[in-house]
Amino acid sequence: MRLPSVIGGTPLEVALLDAYKRGVIIGGTSAGAAVMPKVMIAYGKGGPTPREHIAQFAPGLGLTDKIVFDQHFRQRDRLGRLLYLIAAHPGLLGVGIDENTAAIVEDESFITVTGTGAVTIVDGSGMESTNVAEIENGRPVAVSNVCIHILTSGCSFNVNARKAIIPMPELLNE
């Protein structure tokens, strides 16, 4: 919350957005990655199951309105909160980034993974149903037909086609 509250509405925010629109590469780690989208995860808890209020959302810098990022993903067991966000906003693509790993986003349409961990993509575009709007008191949220991709270094993801590209190692000579 500190980054958007300090940068939002300032000449620095305008300069960042203008630079991004001109094709300047903008990067961030941890909170610096989380703050880039229009919708960001501001607070939350870990856990594998989506639950009501496992995460809170806030406006980010708005460099993308298609993707939301979560950081320290596997290290802090954050699948539940990314699933909760996607259940509440199925048009967004959830991107969970492990430590020592990067998700390089090009033109909001292509993500390439590099590093020693993985990137988890949560795609709610095919979601058939959820009870996210009815659940209260921190109870578990049901969600149906969400697609999850686990991508490692060298893998990529086509955001527009919602398709993972996993390169296969060349076959050994027989």
**Position 29: which residue type?**
T
Please report, for residues 16, 58, 75, 81, the alpha-carbon distance to residue 12 in angstroms, rounded to integers and kept in the order given: 6, 19, 32, 30
Residue 144, in any domain of the structure: yes
DSSP annotation string for 132-158: TTT--TT-B--EES-EEEEEETT-EEE
- CATH no. for residue 96? 3.40.50.880
Domain that holds residue 48: 2-165
**Active-site residue flag, 72:** yes
Say how many C-beta atoms besides its own lie within 10 A of residue 61's C-beta: 22
Residue 174, in any domain of the structure: no
Residue 103, in any domain of the structure: yes
Residue 131, in any domain of the structure: yes
Spot the catalytic one: 30, 109, 129, 144: 30
**Active-site residue flag, 99:** yes
Residue 172, in any domain of the structure: no
pLDDT of residue 70: 95
Quickly tell me which residue has 């000579």 as its tokens: 173
Spot the catalytic one: 72, 89, 108, 153: 72
pLDDT of residue 126: 95
Indicate the SS3 state at residue 33: helix
Residue 171, in any domain of the structure: no
Residue 48, in any domain of the structure: yes
Spot the catalytic one: 53, 99, 108, 153: 99
pTM: 0.89
Q: Please report, in tens digits, the pLDDT of each residue of the chain (174 residues total).
A: 788 788 888 999 899 889 988 888 888 888 888 888 899 998 889 999 999 999 999 898 888 999 999 999 999 999 999 999 999 999 999 999 999 999 999 988 999 999 999 999 999 999 999 999 999 999 999 999 999 999 999 999 999 999 999 998 765 444
pLDDT of residue 134: 95
**Active-site residue flag, 136:** no
Q: Work out how many domains the chain is built from and give that number.
A: 1
Give the single-character DSSP code of 142: -
Measured CA to CA, the distance from residue 35 to residue 83 in angstroms comes to 18
Measured CA to CA, the distance from residue 173 to residue 162 in angstroms comes to 34
Residue 173, in any domain of the structure: no
